[in-house]
């Protein structure tokens, strides 16, 4: 299973567990006639159910972001309003607020949000809460807040420590750019020593085909491209996340004509798998073969220039740097060639 699938599966399981738990809380609230708590639990469960149903659909990415913010606002309102209600209403939900915020928002935004929320909750509870367990509520909240901050701190420290050692990009499974120059230099040396071919492909999603879609999830497209490359390259081929929507692919034992054929195959597969709903998202590819005197930098530069030339002439193209020959297959031919 791919790492991205593991991450998505884990997130889905977390959402599913939250939905089941809050549904049970809602039923318990109804059974014990605590209708206010039951309504809050039901609304929370409804939000989480929406996340479960649409988290992997790029068409709903924009709306899921709005739902995430609405969930944070909803929890903030009901918990901050609780001190004004006799006997409290949803003060215990404040315990999970920091965890949810850190789970949904980036670290810096979450820290600002949680800090402002903590100040407001402390002031309102100390001033207006009339329940007998006021000190206990604040102690429990700060204990949960401390655990949340400790978890986030450990997570960020782990990311910092692993980043220099990480060889693959979690989103696309592509190797990271920092390893490209050294890996390509070794492949050039091996190719020159063995007298075999070597080619580099520069692949990018055609930006003009996605700029008109405000709700398009670029991360989802990059994940799909990474999957396509993972499934259609040989074991000894390597591909790298270069920048933005660009990938560089190193093809050992491959001369330029064969590299062009491979690039065409990848272009056609991307055209099919990136457009399940008859959209028009395409990729263009630049091809550069190894020449005498080439080094890692020169091969990357020529592949990227070929890509730039292909995109400057339109979209959905493959172009070799050597002969500046551009290939563009019509839609019917595209579909006929895809296995």
Tell me: pLDDT of 334 over 70.
no
Q: Which residue has the tokens 């000894």?
A: 236
Q: Which helix (H) or strand (E) holds 319?
A: strand 318-320
139 φ, ψ (degrees, to nearest 5): -65, -45
Query: pLDDT, tens digit, for every residue of 274-302?
Result: 876 656 888 999 999 999 889 999 999 99
What's the half-sphere exposure (Cβ side, CA atoms, 13 Å) at 238? 19
Check whether 137 has a pLDDT greater than 90. Answer: no
- Token readout for 51 is 């996340």
- Domain 177-320 grouped into CATH 3.30.70.270: yes
- Give phi and psi for 200, each to the nearest 5: -125, 130
For position 333, what pLDDT does the model report?
A: 40
Cα dihedral: 203, 241, 321, 285 (round 10): 0
DSSP assignment string, 29-78: HHHTT-HHHHHHHHHHHHHHHHHHHHTT-GGGHHHHHHHHHHHHHHHHHH
pLDDT digits 0-9 by tens, 147-182 = 988 988 887 787 776 655 556 777 787 888 888 999
Buried b (16+ CB within 10 A) or exposed e, 7-31: eeeeeeeebeebbeebbebbeebee
Q: Which of 124-133, 162-171, 203-212, 322-331 has the lowest mean pLDDT?
A: 322-331
Mean local confidence (pLDDT), 51-69: 70
CA–CA dist 150, 267 (Å, integer): 45
- Tens digits of residue pLDDT in 78-118: 888 876 665 555 677 888 889 888 888 888 888 899 999 99
* pTM of the entire predicted model: 0.56
- Say which range, 17-26, 59-68, 156-165, has the weakest mean pLDDT: 156-165
């Amino acid at each position: 299973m791919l790492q991205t699938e593991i991450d998505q599966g884990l997130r889905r399981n977390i959402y599913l567990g939250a939905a089941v738990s809050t549904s049970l809380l809602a039923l318990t609230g109804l059974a014990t006639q605590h209708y206010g708590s039951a309504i809050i639990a039901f609304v929370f469960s409804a939000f989480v159910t929406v996340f479960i149903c649409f988290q992997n659909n790029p068409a709903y990415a924009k709306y899921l972001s709005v739902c995430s913010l609405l969930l944070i606002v909803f929890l903030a309102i009901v918990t901050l309003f609780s001190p004004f209600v006799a006997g409290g209403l949803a003060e215990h939900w404040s315990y999970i607020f920091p965890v949810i915020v850190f789970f949904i928002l980036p670290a810096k935004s979450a820290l600002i949000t949680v800090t402002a929320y903590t100040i407001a909750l402390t002031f309102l509870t100390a001033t207006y809460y009339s329940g007998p367990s006021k000190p206990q509520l604040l102690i429990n909240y700060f204990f949960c807040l401390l655990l949340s901050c400790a978890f986030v701190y450990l997570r960020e420290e782990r990311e910092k420590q692993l980043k220099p050692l990480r060889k693959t990009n979690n989103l696309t499974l592509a190797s990271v750019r920092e390893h490209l120059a050294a890996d390509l230099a070794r492949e050039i040396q091996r190719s020159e020593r063995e007298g075999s071919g070597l080619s580099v492909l520069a692949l990018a999603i055609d930006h003009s085909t996605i700029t008109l879609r405000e709700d398009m999830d670029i991360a989802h497209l990059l994940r799909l491209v990474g999957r396509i490359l993972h499934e259609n390259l040989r074991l000894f081929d390597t591909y790298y996340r270069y920048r933005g929507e660009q990938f560089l692919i190193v093809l050992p034992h491959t001369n330029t004509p064969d590299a062009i054929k491979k690039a065409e195959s990848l272009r056609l597969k991307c055209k099919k798998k990136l457009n399940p709903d008859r959209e028009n998202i395409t990729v263009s590819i630049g091809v550069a073969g190894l020449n005498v005197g080439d080094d890692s930098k020169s091969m990357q530069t020529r592949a990227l220039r070929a890509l730039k030339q292909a995109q400057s002439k339109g979209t959905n193209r493959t172009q070799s740097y050597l002969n500046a020959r551009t290939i563009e297959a019509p839609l019917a031919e595209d579909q006929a060639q895809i296995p």
